[in-house]
Every structure is written in structure tokens, then in C-alpha cells.
């Protein structure tokens, strides 16, 4: 499989995430679109890791071919921590303003 | 067309279709369920690339923990009905056009490249638990330990933010 197929696929998923963030108003769905973008990046990193494993540089150099997958693992760790704090913020916001519509969140301005 | 290409195309179509269903469905519960489908297809891609550890971790962490947390929050807020009151179609159109322009630009730039870089499919041992664990605990011990501090601060932060005052 060509690497271009993986780039196109993860770019499509990333763009769908961007469109979701721009279009939707619900804060929870915006948050889920961020998760989708993180997953698209993870898929691309794993694809590049397997591309590196096939190249002759991988055997000669000191870097491991599994470095990118370690990076994906840390992205998952950070995403889990981010989700717990972000959902706590959304729940607190719902308790205060009784909505999750991001249009009502412009009160910080004034 | 061999079976690997067929599975790749099937998983890709399923992933993109579920992602589109996720951002277009009205109910947040349906969105969460479609996002779980996307995560399972991405795990299928990891298995196709022989990244077995990441496939399992993706299912356990994302589909098992994070999305259940999302479902809990959606059901706690009782958002099951339609909860998007105002619709600004002009802004939606602008968002879709901006995203589509980005997609078209980068894909056309990629397709101009003539060199073909192949990806190793179905074989290779760098995605197995043994090599990943050796690498993680040899070269990446310090980030691993720091991530535990990150988790501790996330727990404390979630409790402090979420408690009633």
C-alpha cells in the first residue's frame, strides 16, 4: 500500500473533524471532533512508522522504527487526561448556564 | 486487487462515512455511537498495519473509556433531544467550504509527488508489545513517568472543577 493512501485517508478524517468544529454548536460534539482529529493524526503516525520500517535507513540508524508508535501511545495518554478535564469543564458550564451551546459562551467578553 | 487493498478500501470508506454521519447526526448520542464506529475502523487499520498493541489500546482507551465517559455526560445532561436552537446556514457553508478547500489543496499537493513510498503491511515486529515495551522502558522512561504526573493533575483538576461549591 502506498503511503499516499494513508495521507489522503487521515487528511480526510482530519478535515471532517475541522468541519465539525466549525459547523456544530454543541460543545460535546465539538470536543468529539477534536478527538477525531487526534485519531487521524495517530493513524498517520502509525503509517509513517511502518513506512520507515521498510526503508534501509531504519536498519542503519540508531532510531527505532517503533518510536512513532510510542509517540501515538503518549498522544492517547494526553487525550485521556484532556477528556477528563474537558468534560468536567463542560459539566460545570452546563450547571451554570443550563446549555452546552457554544454561542452562549461569549459572556467572557464583557 | 489483492485482499489487503480490499480491506483497506472497505475500512477507509467505513471510517469516512461514519465520521460524516457523526458530524451530521442530530442527536448527541448518535454522534457518540458513530464516533465509536470510527474508532473501531481505525483499530482495524492498526491491525492491518500490524500495530497490534495500538489496536488494543485504541479499543480499550478510546472506545472503552473515553466514549463511555462522553455517553455518561450526554445522558447526565439529558441532551437526547434536538438541542441546537439557532442555525446560521451561512456560517455552516463557510465552514464546509473552508474545510473542503484545505482538503483539496493538500490532496492535490500530495498527488503531485511521483515517488512511491510503500508501507509495510501485515508483517513487521515493531508494533508488537515486546518491541514497543523494550523501547518504552529503555528510551522513554522519563516521559512515561511524567505522564503519570499528568494523570494525577488531570484527576485533581477534574475533581476540583467538578465539585459543587
Give the CA-trace dihedral at A102, A74, A50, A16, to 10 degrees: 0
The 10s digit of each residue's pLDDT in B118-128 is: 888 877 777 88
- Work out the pLDDT band at A108, boundaries 50, 70, 90: low
pLDDT digits (tens, 9 = 90+) for A44-99: 999 988 888 887 776 666 566 788 889 999 999 999 999 999 999 888 888 887 77
Q: Residue ranges of the domains in chain B?
A: 3-124, 128-165
Under the banding of pLDDT at 50, 70 and 90, the label for residue A109 is low
Q: Tell me the average pLDDT across A8-27.
A: 91
Check pLDDT > 90 for residue A27: no
Gap from B138 CA to chain A (nearest CA, Å)? 11
How far out from the chain centre does Cα B135 lie? 24
CATH of A3-102, one of 3.30.565.10, 1.10.3720.10, 1.10.287.3510, 3.40.640.10: 1.10.287.3510
3-class secondary-structure state, position B80: coil
A30 or B114, which is more confident: A30
With beta carbons less than 8 A apart as the criterion, state whether B46 and B55 touch: yes
Q: How far apart are CA A109 and CA A64, in angstroms?
A: 48
Asked if A76's CB is within 8 angstroms of B57's CB, the reply is yes
Cα gap A9→A43, rounded to integer Å: 9
Grid cell in block for residue B52: 497490534
The segments of chain B whose pLDDT lies below 50 read none
Q: How far is CA B17 from CA B35, B41, B102, B125, in A?
A: 11, 11, 19, 31
- Which residues between 68 and 127 in chain B have a beta carbon less than 8 angstroms from any beta carbon of chain A? 69-70, 73-74, 76-77, 79, 83-86, 91-92, 94-96, 98-100, 102-103, 106-107, 110-111, 113, 116-121, 124, 126-127
Option in B16, B28, B117 nearest A29 (CB)? B28
- Give yes or no for A53 touching B (CB within 8 A): yes
Record: contact A65-B150, CB cut-off 8 A: no
Q: Assess A108–B contact: CB distance below 8 Å, yes or no.
A: no
Position B131 scores a pLDDT of: 85
Instruction: Check CB contact under 8 Å for B49 and A50.
Output: yes
DSSP string covering chain A: -BHHHHHHHHHHHHHHHHHHHHH--BHHHHHHHHHHHHHHHHHHHHHHHHHHHHSTHHHHSSS-TTHHHHHHHHHHHHHHHHHHHHHHHHHHHHHHHS--BGGGGGGGT-
How far from the centroid of its chain's Cα atoms is residue A52's Cα? 22
Within 8 A by CB and 6+ apart from B3, the residues are: none
A99: which chain B residues are within 8 Å (Cβ-Cβ)? 83
| Contact with chain A for residue B30, Cβ under 8 A | no
Q: What is the ipTM of this complex?
A: 0.89
B82 → chain A, closest CA residue: A26
Q: Tell me how far apart the alpha carbons of residues B54 and B159 are, in angstroms, rounded to a whole number.
A: 29
**Residue B125 has what pLDDT?**
77
CATH number of this structure's domain B3-124: 1.20.120.1200
Amino acid at each position: 500500500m502506498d503511503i499516499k493512501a494513508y495521507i489522503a485517508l487521515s487528511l480526510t478524517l482530519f478535515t471532517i473533524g475541522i468541519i465539525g468544529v466549525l459547523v456544530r454548536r454543541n460543545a460535546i460534539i465539538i470536543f468529539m471532533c477534536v478527538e477525531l482529529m487526534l485519531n487521524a493524526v495517530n493513524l498517520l503516525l502509525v503509517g509513517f512508522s511502518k513506512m520507515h520500517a521498510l526503508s534501509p535507513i531504519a536498519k542503519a540508524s540508531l532510531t527505532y522504527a517503533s518510536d512513532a508508535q510510542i509517540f501515538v501511545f503518549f498522544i492517547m495518554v494526553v487525550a485521556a487526561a484532556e477528556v477528563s478535564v474537558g468534560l468536567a469543564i463542560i459539566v460545570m458550564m452546563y450547571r451554570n448556564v443550563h446549555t452546552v451551546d457554544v454561542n452562549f459562551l461569549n459572556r467572557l467578553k464583557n | 486487487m489483492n485482499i489487503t487493498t480490499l480491506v483497506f478500501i472497505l475500512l477507509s470508506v467505513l471510517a469516512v462515512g461514519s465520521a460524516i454521519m457523526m458530524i451530521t447526526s442530530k442527536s448527541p448520542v448518535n454522534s457518540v455511537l458513530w464516533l465509536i464506529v470510527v474508532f473501531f475502523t481505525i483499530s482495524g487499520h492498526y491491525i492491518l498495519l500490524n500495530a497490534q498493541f495500538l489496536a488494543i489500546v485504541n479499543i480499550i482507551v478510546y472506545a472503552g473509556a473515553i466514549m463511555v465517559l462522553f455517553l455518561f455526560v450526554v445522558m447526565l445532561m439529558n441532551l437526547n433531544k434536538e438541542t441546537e436552537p439557532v442555525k446560521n446556514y451561512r456560517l455552516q457553508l463557510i465552514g464546509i467550504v473552508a474545510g473542503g478547500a484545505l482538503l483539496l489543496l493538500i490532496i492535490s499537493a500530495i498527488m503531485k509527488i511521483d515517488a512511491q513510498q510503500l508501507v509495510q503491511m501485515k508483517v513487521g515486529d515493531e508494533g508488537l508489545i515486546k518491541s514497543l515495551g523494550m523501547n518504552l522502558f529503555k528510551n522513554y522512561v522519563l516521559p512515561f513517568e511524567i505522564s503519570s504526573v499528568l494523570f494525577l493533575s488531570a484527576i485533581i483538576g477534574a475533581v476540583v472543577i467538578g465539585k459543587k461549591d
